[in-house]
Amino acid sequence: MPITRRTLTARLRAILYGRVSRDQQGGRSVNQQLTTGRRRSVEHDWDVVGEYSDNDASASEYARKDRADWERVEADIAAGGVDLLWLWEISRGTRDLVVWAHLARTCQEQGVLIAIDDEVWDPTNPDHMKYLNTQMIDAVHEAGKTHKRLVRDAAAHAEEGGAHGMAGFGFRREYDPATGRLVRQVIDQGQAEVVRECARRYLAGEPLVRIAADLNHRRVPTALGYTVGDLMDQTRSGEPLTDNAGNPRRSAGWSYMTVRQMLERPAIMGKRGHHGRIIREGGWDGIISEEDWWAIRRRIDSNPGGKDTSVRHLLSGIVTCGRCGSNVGTTRRQRDDRRMYRCLGEYTGAVVGHVVRMEHILDAQVETLLAAEFAMPDVLERFRPADTSPEDVARAQAELERLRAELDELYADVAAGRTTRRMAQADEERLQRDIAALEPKARPVRVEPLAEDLADEDPNRVLETWRSWSLEQQRSALRAFTVSMEMMPVGQGRKKVSPTESVRITWVGSRGG
């Protein structure tokens, strides 16, 4: 039995916690939960010393993001000064047995009671803990069943080429007016133009953070329909979202991460992704080509941070010292305050300045070599990875389809009882291994987009294009075009040094690269 009011003679210091998941239906909003908690506090004569809440936050072991306010709850209990934790129901606190064990132990050590709606329980009482543990096990069981159902349904839908979850930016859903069932996913032409623009700009070397800032400046709505600064509504309950201070929450608009996530989604090339695997067909038209999507992925993977906006010098962090191999930075020459590139040394305390070059001279020499390279007639072929001709890709795709069909037949044989799961296991592992090895070869490969833009038989036009780019685009291009770039020692006192003596560049696709 829970503790009665008569048993609690002292005025207790209580903290209230509310939580709601995105997938909750028919449940109480965070504000409704906390309102109930305040009413219970008045009824029991508790002194509320803190209110915490997490909106749109799962509490199960399958959760993918942290709950900031729950961490504060745990910290407050551990710090003392709290006598009681109030929850609308036990699952509002957690559906993770590890988190529950930690909370229960902390409450026992600090002498903190746990109130579930209007019932108060003592974690130091074995009978009370038995009841609470039973409630928690039920909550964890329900979370597990929900997770299993969602994963199963998503996997089945993905294999069938269907769409699940939100439509995602660039798409909209069409439903049967009679049954309400999903008919198909189609391209939203207005949003799709934004997707194509972002893909084009990113492949042209523009940083994601700058693309996001421009979308916000133009007040382009996000996937949720908000522009930067808009008040956000909680769509299911109709109540406004608030921050921890109770102030209305406003949309942050586009960010580096939201643009990146939009461009990384396989859906925009007409494919479905499931647990990191690209399903062959998504069942809808793509917004961008498969070649462009993989080019975007390669660029993101090569620069996960995606930000290069703070660098103001063309070659910083790209060129290295030709003598010791260390990084090269910039400094000012004392007599005239002009910028120089200077070897930074192999480690702290090591000799520095093995090689020094005036910034404007080295930049111009690199431009000269780049113009000569991109005026070569075969330059674009050298930027195409080896063994990735269109014919090779087509053959790999055909073989991949054959292997997947064979795997499907194997699963059908198991389902029909024509073979046992154990007997099929070796064949399944072999097919999955062969499919995984072949998938990279079956991806269409696009020549580096920046190289396509720059290549021209006239070196002067190469330079004209190059100088029309922003610094971020130029630096992004140099990273994509070069295997290495070394600032070479040329001896003291030499006034005229050729570009090939001053800097050694190994281009992608060259014999040395």
Q: Is the pLDDT of residue 293 over 80?
A: yes
Q: Is the pLDDT of residue 462 over 90?
A: yes
Give the residue-averaged pLDDT of 170-182.
85
Q: Bigger pLDDT: 351 or 230?
A: 230
0.85 exceeded by pTM: no
CA dihedral 429, 431, 433, 435 (to 10 degrees): -150
Dist. CA 485–CA 318, nearest whole Å = 7
pLDDT the model gives residue 404: 76
CATH number of 171-302: 3.90.1750.20
pLDDT the model gives residue 18: 87
Dist. CA 332–CA 341, nearest whole Å = 9
- CA dist list (Å): 444 to 398, 400, 457: 13, 13, 27
Token duo for residue 449 = 């987009």
Q: Bigger pLDDT: 397 or 199?
A: 199
Residue spans per domain, the chain: 12-147, 171-302, 320-383+448-507, 390-441
Dist. CA 374–CA 452, nearest whole Å = 9
Contact 482, 509 (CB under 8 A): no
Q: Dump pLDDT digits (tens) for 399-430.
A: 877 787 787 777 777 777 777 777 778 888 88
Q: Dump pLDDT digits (tens) for 70-107.
A: 888 888 898 888 999 999 888 888 877 778 888 889 99
513: pLDDT confidence band, cut at 50, 70 and 90?
very low
Q: Do domains 12-147 and 171-302 have the same CATH topology?
A: no
| Distance of alpha carbon 156 from the chain centroid | 24
What percent of the chain is modeled with pLDDT above 90?
21
Structural fold of domain 12-147: Rossmann fold (3.40.50)
**Range scoring the smallest mean pLDDT among 79-83, 273-277, 459-463:** 273-277
Dist. CA 45–CA 448, nearest whole Å = 69
pLDDT the model gives residue 64: 42
pLDDT the model gives residue 26: 37
187: pLDDT confidence band, cut at 50, 70 and 90?
very high
